[in-house]
Amino acid sequence: MSTPPVRSLLFVPGNRTGWVAKGVDAGADGVILDLEDAVPSGAKSDARAEVAGFLGETPPAVPVVVRVNGLHDRAALDDLCAVVGPALTAVMVPKVESVADVHVVDRLLGWLEADLGLPVGGIHLVPVLETAAGIRQAHDLARATPRSAYMGGLGVKGGDVERSLGYRWTPEGIETLALRAQVLVDLRAAAVPNPVAGLWTDIRDLDGLRAFARQNRGLGYEGMLAIHPTHVAVINEVFTPTEAELDADAALVAAMESAAAEGRGAVRHGGDMIDEAMAETARRRLARYRP
């Protein structure tokens, strides 16, 4: 199963699909059409129909994820039945707390895919880790289905994770640093593609966003969730290596290959001692960002 690479995933309310174009124009690598928190309870049915109509029209310009309602609510089933189709990249499921939750959605997706003549397993699944129970089981949840993608640790101001764990949010993100780091280890061990962190809610504080994005990139995440189109450019910038960085990777690979041709397993390069492990890291980065 191929996973479209994303640096930025922009939330768009499910009852405002016309805003998707703004996100695409802003450079978002993908969008999340939200049928959960962004839609008032009385508007769920109309939003579901709007999202289904959007997905059934011209193929979207970017990957589309739909966040359905939680599994405690019958609306989740209605959401899945309405939105599954060839234009859907992934389903995001909130507040997942058990492997059984993942298996339920996995089975439902398989049935719906088969009914529509789609490849079974082709739609990704994003179990959202928003509670202490979910975070504690990140590795098991990630491994529960090969559909898993775009998972990550969250640090949202005033959000579900803060309420569940009881921490006090700060702009520096220190209170969730260990959490986000441990979740990333769990996801890497489970071979989850394209781990994505989040979320910065202040639409005016772009410097704070940049610092938080850099922190997540430093931990090893490959992208971030975005709450507003103005956040997209900053996130994309942080999660894209500069040309100078890629040039340095290419030079490192060349130096290591030259050394290997001479029978040396390590060589001094730019003041550092490098070996094949470092060259392989550089090759992988080049393969993604300078194919």
Q: Enumerate the known binding-site residues.
A: 67, 130, 160
Residue list for the binding site for substrate: 67, 130
Half-sphere exposure of 208 (CA within 13 A, CB side): 13
Q: Would you state the structure tokens that stand for residue 78, as one six-digit string?
A: 């209605």
Residue list for the binding site for Mg(2+): 130, 160
Q: Would you state the structure tokens that stand for residue 32, as one six-digit string?
A: 């999340």
